[in-house]
Amino acid sequence: MERRTFVKSLAAGLAGLPLLPRLTAAANEQLQTLGTDLGALSDAPARWRRVRNEFNYTPDLIHLNCGTIGATPRPIVEALCNLLHELESSPYHHTFEGTGLYGQIEGVRDKAAAFLGVTKDEVALTTNTTEGMNGVATGLKLQPGDEILTTNHEHGGGMVGWQYLAKHRGLKIVQFKIPPPAQSKEQILQLIADHLTPRTRVCFFSHVETITGMVMPLAEISALVRPKGILLVCDGAQAPGMIDVDLKALGVDTYASSSHKWMLAPKGSGLLYIRKEAQERVQPVTLHSGYSAYSGSVGTRGWPQLIAHGLTMDFHNTIGRSQVQARCRELNNYLRQRLDRLPHLRCLTPTLPELSSPGIVTYALDKGKNGEIVTQLHDEHNIWVKPAAGTFTIEGGLPHEDYNALRFSTHIYNDEAQLDRTVEVLEKLLKAL
Ligand SMILES: Cc1ncc(COP(=O)(O)O)c(C=O)c1O
């Protein structure tokens, strides 16, 4: 939903809800004001300055590691605190009765379904990508010798379930090597086609991979593998909140994500999507009693956290999901243009826009050690970037490659001045080596 429609429906919704508006009134009001202010500002830099005002972090911090953890906007943090106080004023009532917080949690699944472009009966609220991926992997009916095809650029959180199945159930993990940087969608599709065998049951890929930020061409992969009856299982940790995701258009069968990264939700918030037609084949034990936020198979959880998770989706809708994506890209391009000019750095992220994610860019160093540079950046300059160590290794799989790289994530709370400062500091550090 885009900004204006959202602000109207927010106002209409507030009138009808007895409990939640009271507890989240301040957050809703702040989001409404944000929406009104953004609507009134025609100048893009002024609009983004207005958005940046919504964050709490210390003024001199330059946080370029949203790919690991995002910063939650102030209205959401405050709402979370209010909700926690309310919960503890009457714990049983709020945890188990419809007139308490419990009555609000299914609404978060409605918001999540709209955010991902899917239906509510396909979405579950989780803690993170790792939990979602573990549920998918162990919820499949696979036989010893069945193959799962993946890459050497996956994250451990997406891989651990497959490693568990390989160790305990005889599943075979087949990896292919992602070329850093990949040159075209066709190159990736060819690599996949070359590694499919009659035993391939699952293709498992990150939507946006964690090392270089490359975007996997999921729609094209789906067109290749679905007719063969192969499930397309995705790790979406790095996408929702950065990319305006439409899972139906991507054609994936399952998608697990971490909302505490790009969606900027409170830490420990995630989503799991399982396509209706794939639900018979993928049966996580936590969803045995259904996809509701509370069920006998998922047990008791912290509703304040889940409600605040929903509010962060409202935050993105207030700004506009496509505007957020465009701003991540604008900042990333700005940074790339400057880092491309520095000696000793080689970009590992594809240059083609359809293969490069809006918010992540990674550079390999041909001098110095990434870990030491990262430490100097944060200890001495309060600049936080991620050391991108290298490829993921499995027993009997492809050899480890150490990229000795730095990963930069740009989000709406960053600005051009922060990026100038980062480049200036990095240039000096590299010169001094
Ligand atoms: C691609 C990918 N998958 C999974 C994870 C694990 O995320 P979480 O710890 O939120 O489960 C990460 C974290 O950086 C990631 O980049």
One DSSP character per residue, 108-165 reads HHHHHHHHHTS-GGGEEEES-HHHHHHHHHHTB---TT-EEEEESS--HHHHHHHHHH
Q: Which residues contact 427 (CB under 8 A, 6 or more apart)?
A: 342
Does the beta carbon of 258 sit less than 6 angstroms from any atom of ligand 1? yes
Question: Is there an atom of ligand 1 within 6 Å of 259 CB?
Answer: no
pTM of the model: 0.94
pLDDT tens-place string over residues 155-176: 999 999 999 999 999 999 999 9
Q: Is the CB of 237 under 6 A from ligand 1?
A: yes
Could you tell me the CATH number of the domain that includes residue 400? 3.90.1150.10
What is the average per-residue pLDDT within 106-124? 98
Do residues 278 and 398 share a domain?
no
* Residue 309 sits in the same domain as residue 333: no
Please give the structure tokens belonging to residue 144. 């010893």
Q: What is the pLDDT of residues 76-106, one digit of tens each?
A: 999 999 999 999 999 999 999 999 999 999 9
Q: Ligand 1 within 6 A of 409 CB?
A: no
Q: Could you tell me if the CB of 266 is within 6 A of ligand 1?
A: no
- Structural domain tally of the chain? 2
Tell me, yes or no, whether 133 and 259 share the same domain: yes
Residues 305, 337, single domain; the answer is: no
**Same-domain pairing of 286 and 141:** yes
Residue 68 Cα: closest atom of ligand 1: 14
- 161 Cβ inside 6 Å of ligand 1: no
Residue 98 lies in a domain: no
Measure 65 CA to ligand 1 centroid, in angstroms: 13
Answer whether 291's CB lies under 8 Å from 122's CB.
yes
Is residue 95 assigned to a domain?
no
Q: Give 270 Cα–ligand 1 centroid separation in angstroms.
A: 10
Answer yes or no: is pLDDT of 11 > 50: no
Q: What is the whole-number distance in angstroms between the Cα of residue 267 and the centre of ligand 1?
A: 12
Contact 315, 264 (CB under 8 A): yes
Average pLDDT, integer, range 202-219? 98
Look at residue 358 and tell me whether its pLDDT is greater than 80. Answer: yes
* 367 and 350 in a common domain: yes
Query: For 133-144, what is each residue's pLDDT tens digit?
Result: 999 999 999 999
* 158 Cα to the center of ligand 1, angstroms: 7
The verdict on residue 29 lying in a domain is: no
| HSE (side-chain half, CA atoms, 13 Å) at 431 | 7
Binding site membership of 235 for ligand 1 (Cβ less than 6 Å): yes
- The domain boundary residue, chosen from 313, 335, 355: 313
Last residue of a domain, one of 285, 313, 341: 313
Asked if residue 296 is part of any domain, the answer here is yes
Count of alpha carbons within 13 Å of 399, Cβ hemisphere only? 2
Q: Which atom of ligand 1 is nearest to the CA of 130?
A: 11
**Measured from the CA of 261, which atom of ligand 1 is nearest?**
10
Q: Looking at the structure, do residues 146 and 281 belong to the same domain, yes or no? A: yes
* Residue 130: CATH number of its domain: 3.40.640.10
Domain-embedded: residue 17? no
Candidates 226, 242, 430; CA nearest to 330 is 242
Give the pLDDT confidence score for residue 58 in this predicted structure.
Answer: 87
Same domain, 115 and 218: yes
Is 129 touching ligand 1 by the criterion CB < 6 Å?
Answer: yes
Domain boundary among 313, 334, 359: 313
Separation of alpha carbons 233 and 202, rounded Å: 7
**Are 147 and 222 in the same domain?**
yes
The residue whose two tokens read 């429609």 is 5
Task: Report if residue 171 sits inside a domain.
Answer: yes
Nearest to residue 240, comparing CAs of 67, 143, 116? 116
Residues 6+ apart with CB under 8 A from 368: 344, 429, 430, 433
Residue, of 347 and 12, whose pLDDT is higher:
347
State the pLDDT at residue 57: 81
Of ligand 1's atoms, which has the minimum distance to the CA of residue 208?
1
Ligand 1 center–CA 350 separation, angstroms: 21
Q: Ligand 1 centre and the CA of 257: distance in Å?
A: 8
* Distance from the alpha carbon of residue 30 to the mean position of ligand 1, in angstroms: 30
For residue 359, report the distance from its CA to the centre of ligand 1, in Å: 15
Distance (angstroms) between ligand 1 centre and the Cα of 42 equals 37
Q: How much is the average pLDDT of 42-62? A: 94
Is residue 222 assigned to a domain?
A: yes
A 10 A CB-CB count for 175 gives: 21
Q: Judge if 360 and 396 occupy the same domain.
A: yes
Decide whether any atom of ligand 1 lies within 6 Å of the 134 Cβ: no
Residue 256 CA to ligand 1 center (angstroms) comes to 10
Cα–ligand 1 centroid distance for 433 (angstroms)? 32
What's the average model confidence in pLDDT over 196-215?
98
Same domain, 277 and 141: yes
Mean pLDDT score across all residues of the chain = 94
Nearest C-alpha to atom 14 of ligand 1 is from which residue?
68
* Whether residue 175 is found in the same domain as residue 301: yes
Question: Best mutation site among 155, 242, 264 for ligand 1, i.e. most ligand atoms within 8 A of its Cβ?
Answer: 155
Please state, in angstroms and rounded to a whole number, the distance separating the CA atoms of residues 355 and 351. Answer: 7
Q: Which structural domain, as residue segments, surrounds residue 379? A: 322-431
Is there a domain that residue 93 lies in?
no
